[in-house]
Amino acid sequence: MEFKTLSLEKKGSIALLKFMRPEVMNAFNSQQVDEMKLAVTNLAGDKEIRVVILSGEGKAFTSGADLSEKEAKWENVHDALIEGYLPSLKGIIEMPKLVIASINGPAAGIGAAFAMACDFRVMSEDSYILSVFSNIALVPDGGLNWLLARNIGYTKALEYAVEAKKISASECLEFGIANKVCSLNDLDDVTFSWAKKLSERSPQAVANTKKLMRESLEKKYLETFEDEAKIQVEIFGNEEFKEGVSAFFAKRKPNFHK
């Protein structure tokens, strides 16, 4: 699969998906929006891939939408968001595998939404997340109001959005929205090493736990309890379960790549 605004490399069970418009700090043009939809859809259905790493080439993760694009594909902002960005953001959130944002610099505007839509975030020390919309008299979009408010709370999310303040890597770690922070030089290695470790976990445990936890944000305790019970019934006793139990009693590492 060849792209002009992205690169996609597969290393075993790990996919490396990278924004490739460094000359504009990986800002999204219409082509990159379309290519992201295609890449995310294909990765979601790729049974060989266990973990996806999303990153940006050059000095930025992505600076958001390319406001200099003169011939955008969509007639209005609503269509751009619903038809353009939503499919890939929704695809990341609903993908039955883990997605790690490896953030090397600014993750701003719709780029912040992509960073926050991922399951995990590894950030370089000088990187940041920025809801920049209020600087141009707009509201955060891409679901960023929902993503930030649920991750750092209404009060702080509103403060950072209204003032268009950077959420630094250290603050992201403090707020619990960054899993790891490291030097820029170590970012690729730290992210890939963690992805490799995560890729060895049970696929059915990962997919179902991600689904349960994502959906729990909109459900009551007893609803989630019942969902857990239903899924346990479905997977209890199958081959992955048997391999995990066998490895436990044999005191060996389970092999979930069979």
pLDDT in tens, 30-45: 999 999 999 999 999 9
Cα of 91 vs its chain's centroid, Å? 10
Number of neighbouring beta carbons within 10 Å of residue 64: 25
Q: If pLDDT is split at 50, 70 and 90, which confidence band does 148 have?
A: very high
Kindly state the percentage of the chain with pLDDT values over 90: 94
Q: What is the CATH number of domain 6-199?
A: 3.90.226.10
**Residue 166: is its pLDDT beyond 80?**
yes
Q: At residue 163, what is the residue type? A: E
**Residue 70: is its pLDDT beyond 90?**
no
Instruction: Tell me what pLDDT residue 67 has.
Output: 84
**Residue 68: is its pLDDT beyond 90?**
no
Number of neighbouring beta carbons within 10 Å of residue 255: 11
Instruction: Tell me what pLDDT residue 157 has.
Output: 97
Q: Residue 171 — φ and ψ, nearest 5°?
A: -70, -40
Q: Is there a contact between 82 and 128 (Cβ–Cβ < 8 Å)?
A: no
Q: If pLDDT is split at 50, 70 and 90, which confidence band does 258 have?
A: low
Q: What is the 3-state secondary structure (H, E, C) of 168-192?
A: EHHHHHHHCCCCEEECHHHHHHHHH
Q: If pLDDT is split at 50, 70 and 90, which confidence band does 72 have?
A: confident
Name the average pLDDT for the chain. Answer: 95
User: Which are the contacts of 113, defined by CB distance < 8 A and separation ≥ 6?
Assistant: 85, 89, 140, 141, 142, 143, 144, 147
| pTM score | 0.94
3-state SS assignment for residue 76: coil
What CA–CA distance (Å, rounded) separates 75 from 215?
33
The average pLDDT across 74-92 equals: 93
Q: At residue 233, what is the residue type? A: V
What CA–CA distance (Å, rounded) separates 140 from 142?
7
| Every domain of the chain and the residues it spans | 6-199, 203-250
